[in-house]
A and B are shown apart, each in its own frame.
Chain A
C-alpha cells in the first residue's frame, strides 16, 4: 500500500486559490452568457488574486521564522509568501488594467483563466524547493504566458510576440533543464539544501550546471544578453499582458534566482557572484543604451525593464542579507511602476487605437491629468528620483553592492542611471513639453473612453510608488522578515 504523503494545504493555498479560479473561469467561458461574461470573469479573477494575496499574508503570519520544507519539494516560509504577495498583487492590478481591453467577448473568460494560471504557476515557482518543481512551475507559468502573448489575434504583432517568446523562452527552459540535469548528475540530489550539502566547490559538472541554470533563469528575468525576446514580446503582446509579464515574471524569476544560488550553491558563491555581476552590467548597458533610440513607448519600457533586471541583479550579486532586503524592497516600487506605466500606455492605446509612440503621446499629460501625473511619477521612479520608492530602491541596491565590496557595480549603476535620464525624461517631454497640435492624428471621434477601472489600477500603483518613499521602514521590516528565510 502506498502511504499518502502529508499535504500542507496552507502552504499551497495561494497557488490553489489561483488555480481554482482558472478552473472556475473555464466554466464561466462555457456556461455564463456572453453579456455578463466579461464582468463575471474579471470579478472572479480579481477575487482569486485578492484571495491569494490574503492567503499569502496568512501563510506569512503562521510561518514566523526560518524556511520549512514540505515533503522535500516546496518551501513554506515568508520569502515565498512575500513573492506570492507581490505576484497576487500584480495579478489583481493586471485584471484592473485588462478590464476595458477591447478584445472579442468570446475569449475573455479564457484570458482571465490563463492570467490566473500564470499567477498560480509563479506562486508555485517561488516556493519550489527542488529542481523538479522548479522546472514544472517554470513551464507552467511560461506556457500560460506564451498563450497570453498571442491571445489577441486581431492585434498586429501579437502572434509574432507569442511565437518569439515561445521559441526563445523554450531555449531558456531547455537550458535550465539541462543545467538541472547536470547538477543532479553531479550531486545525485534534487532538493536545494541537499545539493548544497552534497556539492563540492569547483566540481566541473556542478559548475557547468550552475552556469546553465543561471542562464535559464536570466532568460525569464529578461537580463541581457538573454533578453532578445523581451522588446518584441513586450511590444507585440496586448498591453495588459505586458504589464503582468513585466512585473510578476520579474518578481518570480529574480526571487527564485536568489534563492537557488544562495541555498543550493553557497560553496560556489564567488563564482556566481561574478557571473551575476557581469550579467547585471551587460543588462544595464544594453537596456539603457538600446532604450535611447526607441520611439515606441512599450519598447522603451521593455528596454527599461531589462535595465531594471540589471539593477536588481546587482542586489543578487551582493549576496548578503542587505542584498536580499534591497532586492525585496526594490521589487515593490518596481512592480508598481511597471504595472502603472503599462496601464497608462494601455489607456492611451485605447484612446487612439494605434500603438503608442513618443510622437502620439504629445499633450497627453495636459489632456488626462491623472494619467499624466501618474506616468510622470512612474518615470521619475524608474529613474530613481525622490518622492518615489524607486529612489529608495536604488539607494538600497547601491548600498548593498558597496557593502559587499562591489563598488564597481555602484559605478556601473550610476552611469546607467545617467543614461536612463534621457529616455525617461523623454517620455515626460513627450507628454508635457510638446503641444498636441503638433500631433497628426486621425480623430477617433467622441470623448476618450472613461477608464474608471483602469484609473483605479493606476492610482493603486501611484499610491504604492509614492508611498514606498515615505513608509520605507515598515516595508523594510516586512522584507527583512522575508529575507530571514535565506541564510548567509
Chain B
C-alpha cells in the first residue's frame, strides 16, 4: 500500500512522459493520476488501525545489504496524515496547472508527478539512506519547475534555493553516514538513539534550512515569489514540511540527549522565527509576501510545539502541520488567481476586489479567517494545543506563541482588506472576473478539508500517535 502510494505518481510521470497525447489530455491524465492517488490514500485511512502506535503498512526489501541499507517504507499515524495532506495539495496543484494550461505540458506534468512521488517517499521512508534519497529527489523536479515556469528572476531563485537546500542536505548526508555506520544499520525502526552532538547538528542543519527556521530562511522570499504559484503552494505546503517531519521523525526520537542540551537554542530560534516572520508578514508589500513570511512564522510555532515534548505539543504540532499545509496551499493558489487578474500581487495596486466578485471574496475571507486562527477553526485548535503544550515548558514560551498569534491576526486581516476592501486599486481592471468554476474546483476542496477539520480537529490531533501517548511513543524512539 505504501509502495503503491510512492510508485503510482512515479509510474504516472513515466506514462505522461511518453503518452502520445495533446497537452490538454496530458494535463487531464496527470490530474486523474493525482486523484487516484488521493483515492488510494483514503482507502489506506480506512484500513489504518489508529489505536496502534507502531509502524503500519510496512514493506521491506533489500537494497544494499552490504551496508544494511534497505528499501523500508511504512506509515505511522502521523505520517499517514502528512501523506494525506501531500496528496491532497499535490492534486490541487496539478489540477491548477492543468487549468492554467502550463506550457510544455509533458515535462511539466511528469515533473509534478515525480515531485508527488518523492514527497510521499520522504514521509514514509523508514531507512535513513532511503529517506535521504527521497529528500534529495524532491529537489530535482523542483529545480526545473521553478527554473522553467517561474517568474522573471527565476534563475536567481533556483540558485538560492538549491544552494541553501543542498548545503543542508549534504551536511545531513555526512551525519547519516556517521550515524548509520556507528550503529551498523540504517534502519530507522531499529537504529538506537545516539548522543553525538555532531551527528545531531548535521540533521538539524537540514531541518532548519528546509523548514525554514530563522536565520536560515534566506532562500525563502525569492523562491516563493519567483516560483510559479502552484509550486510555491507545494513548496510551502508540503516540501517545507519535510524539514519538520525530519525533526519529528528522526531528530527528537533518535537524539534525546542533544535535543535536551540544545532545547533552549532551538526554542529561541523557533520563537524568533515566529515573531520575526509575523512582523515581516505584516510589513510585506504583496500578497505572496504575507503568505511566505507567515510560513516562516508557522514553522516556528510548530517547532515550539514539537519542543514542548509532551502529548499536547506533539498532537498540536501534527495538526498544525496539516492545517498550515492546506491553508498555505489555498492562499498561494488564491494569490495566483488574484495575480492572474491584476498582473500583480502588490497591495498598493490592489484593493476593492470584493465588490461584484462574491466567490472570490468568500474564498479569500474563509481561507484568511482560518489562517488567523479564529476560535472554532482548526488552526485555532492546533495553535491552542501547541500553546498549552509549550506552556508546560515555561510560560514565557507560551507568551511568545500568543503574541505570534495576535500578530497573525494583524497580518492576515491586512492582507484580506488589502485585496478585497478599500478603494479599487489601479491594477484591478473593471472587467476582472469572479473566480471561475475551474478555480473554485481547485480551492474549494482544500477549504472544505479545513472546514471539516475545524469541525473535528481531533481526527488528527487525537489519532496521530495511537491513543493519546504521543510523548511516550516518541520517547521510545518510534520503533
Binding site for B on A (CB under 8 A): 325, 366, 380, 385-387, 391-392, 395-396, 398-399, 402-403, 407, 410-411, 414, 417-418, 421-422, 425, 428-429, 432-433, 472-473, 476, 480
Contacts and interface: CB of A to CB of B under 8 A. Distances in A.
A433 B148 contact: yes
B171 interface: yes
Contact of A399 (B144, B155, B177): B177
Given A421-B163, A473-B62, A432 B177 contact: no
B72 interface: no
Interface string B62-78: 11111100000000000
Interface string B132-171: 1110110110011001100000110011001100110011
A399 B128 CA distance: 14
A416 to B, nearest CB: 10
Given A386-B133, A407-B178, A398 B173 contact: yes
Nearest to A421: B166
A428 B144 contact: yes
Nearest to A431: B144
Contacts of B281: none
A414 B67 contact: no
27 contacts: A366-B104, A380-B140, A385-B137, A386-B132, A386-B134, A386-B137, A391-B133, A392-B64, A395-B177, A398-B177, A399-B180, A402-B177, A410-B174, A414-B170, A414-B173, A422-B159, A425-B158, A425-B162, A432-B147, A433-B148, A433-B155, A433-B158, A472-B63, A473-B64, A473-B65, A476-B64, A476-B66
Given A387-B137, A421-B162, A425-B158, 10 more contacts: A366-B104, A398-B173, A399-B181, A407-B178, A414-B170, A417-B170, A425-B143, A432-B144, A432-B148, A473-B65
Contacts of A428: 143-144
Nearest to B104: A366
B129 interface: yes
A403 B181 CA distance: 7
A400 to B, nearest CB: 10
Contacts of A387: 133, 137, 140
Contacts of B177: 395, 398-399, 402, 410
A407 B174 CA distance: 9
A433 B144 contact: yes
Given A407-B178, A410-B177, A432-B147, A473 B66 contact: yes
A403 B174 CA distance: 12
A410 B174 CA distance: 7
A395 B137 CA distance: 15
A43 B178 CA distance: 49
Name the prevailing secondary structure of the A interface residues.
Answer: helix
Nearest to A387: B137
B166 A418 contact: yes
A411 B136 contact: no
Top 8 nearest A-B pairs (CB, nearest first) are A386-B133, A433-B147, A386-B137, A472-B64, A421-B166, A414-B170, A476-B66, A414-B174
A391 B166 contact: no
A476 B67 CA distance: 10
Contacts of A386: 132-134, 136-137, 140
A398 B171 CA distance: 12
B319 to A, nearest CB: 31
Interface residues of B, number: 35
Contacts of A425: 143, 158, 162
Contacts of A392: 64
Chain B interface SS verdict (over half):
helix
Interface of B: 62-67, 104, 129, 132-134, 136-137, 139-140, 143-144, 147-148, 154-155, 158-159, 162-163, 166-167, 170-171, 173-174, 177-178, 180-181
A202 B184 CA distance: 36
A82 B104 CA distance: 44
A482 to B, nearest CB: 14
A422 B66 contact: no
A485 to B, nearest CB: 18
Nearest to A391: B133
Nearest to A471: B63
Contacts of B67: 396, 399
B139 A385 contact: yes
Contacts of A433: 144, 147-148, 154-155, 158
Given A398-B173, A429-B147, A325 B167 contact: no
A395 B104 contact: no
Task: Please indicate which of the listed interface residues B129, B136, B139, B177 has the most CB atoms of chain A within 10 Å of its own CB.
Answer: B177
Contacts of B162: 421, 425
A411 B154 contact: no
A411 to B, nearest CB: 7
B155 A429 contact: yes
Contacts of A417: 166, 170
A385 B134 CA distance: 10
B150 to A, nearest CB: 9
Contacts of B173: 395, 398, 414
B93 to A, nearest CB: 20
A392 B130 CA distance: 11
A396 B173 CA distance: 12
A455 B173 CA distance: 34
A105 B425 CA distance: 71
Contacts of B171: 414
A395 B139 contact: no
B110 to A, nearest CB: 10
A218 to B, nearest CB: 26
B163 to A, nearest CB: 7
B366 to A, nearest CB: 37
B147 A385 contact: no
A387 B136 CA distance: 10
Contacts of A398: 173-174, 177
Contacts of A380: 140
Nearest to B133: A386
Contact of B66 (A418, A421, A480): A480
A387 B133 CA distance: 8
Given A418-B166, A428-B143, A473-B64, A385 B136 contact: yes
B66 to A, nearest CB: 5
A429 B148 CA distance: 9
A392 B167 CA distance: 18
Query: Which of B132, B134, B140 has the most chain A CB atoms inside 10 A of its CB?
Result: B140
A392 to B, nearest CB: 7
A365 to B, nearest CB: 9
B474 to A, nearest CB: 28
Nearest to B130: A386
A472 B129 CA distance: 13
A97 B419 CA distance: 59
Contacts of A418: 163, 166-167, 170
A407 B181 CA distance: 12
Contacts of A480: 66
Contacts of A396: 67
A480 B65 CA distance: 13
Contacts of A429: 147, 155, 158
Given A385-B136, A410-B177, A472-B63, A422 B148 contact: no
